[in-house]
Amino acid sequence: MRIIAGKHKGRVLHAPKNLPVRPTTDKAKEALFNILENQYDFSSLKILDLFSGTGNITYEFLSRGAADVTAVDINYNCCTYIKQQAEKLDFKVTVTKNEIFKFIVGCENKYDLIFADPPYDFKKINQLPEQIFQNDLLNKSGLLIIEHSNKINLDLFENFKEKRKYGQSAFSFFHA
């Protein structure tokens, strides 16, 4: 895994092999950030990374100037790895170990951008946009991005705007 752009551009990070993760590919990550960088100044955003795994997306936001990022994962080893890497890279990030739906229901913050990358076999993927919007986690004009298998369609949700495919992966975009 490598950081594509920003302060730590080109930096390669080696995650432990025993983490239960499927990091976003460099190709998909680069395409996603090309879209986002044309629309947002990350330094002014409050960002939430759900199912953060190795922190791949979190580091990319932080490297590109984001100052307020929260990473949430249920796996203790993933959370520990994110904290260790953030310290090495001199990044400030809030790392929370929690089951995603418990976090969503209990969350009192609002975010400008939420990125969620659940496992491809995650059975409750349809509940993600529902829960995020029902619990009012996005600020006005906020953006939710869910990464998923390109075989899944989330376009029936009211706030759905578009789907972009990159190989076996897809990003579904939802606006508040």
pLDDT band at 57 (very low <50, low <70, confident <90, very high): very high
Neighbours of 17 (CB within 10 A): 5
- What mean pLDDT is reported for the chain? 92
Do the bridges between strand 94-97 and strand 111-116 make them parallel or antiparallel, or are there none, so unpaired? unpaired
What pLDDT, on the 0 to 100 scale, is given for residue 41?
A: 93
**Contact (CB, 8 A) for 172 and 146:** yes
Q: What is the mean pLDDT of residues 48-54?
A: 96
Distance of alpha carbon 144 from alpha carbon 166, whole angstroms = 18
Q: What is the mean pLDDT of residues 61-70?
A: 95
* Global model pTM greater than 0.75: yes
Q: What is the mean pLDDT of residues 119-147?
A: 94
What pLDDT, on the 0 to 100 scale, is given for residue 20?
A: 72
Closest CA to 93 of 114, 68, 128, 65: 68
- Can you say how many angstroms the Cα of residue 19 is from the centroid of all Cα atoms in its chain? 17
Q: Where do the domains of the chain lie?
A: 49-175
pLDDT band at 164 (very low <50, low <70, confident <90, very high): very high
3 state SS of 105: helix
Between 135 and 21, where is the model more confident?
135
Query: What is the per-residue DSSP string for 39-98?
Result: T--GGG-EEEEET-TT-HHHHHHHHTT--EEEEEES-HHHHHHHHHHHHHTT---EEEE-
**The pair of three-digit structure tokens given for residue 97, joined into one six-digit string:** 């170990």
Do the bridges between strand 46-50 and strand 111-116 make them parallel or antiparallel, or are there none, so unpaired? parallel
Distance of alpha carbon 102 from alpha carbon 167, whole angstroms = 31
Distance of alpha carbon 56 from alpha carbon 164, whole angstroms = 19
Tens of pLDDT, residue by residue over 80-126, are: 999 999 999 999 999 999 999 999 999 999 999 999 999 988 999 99
CATH class assigned to 49-175: alpha beta
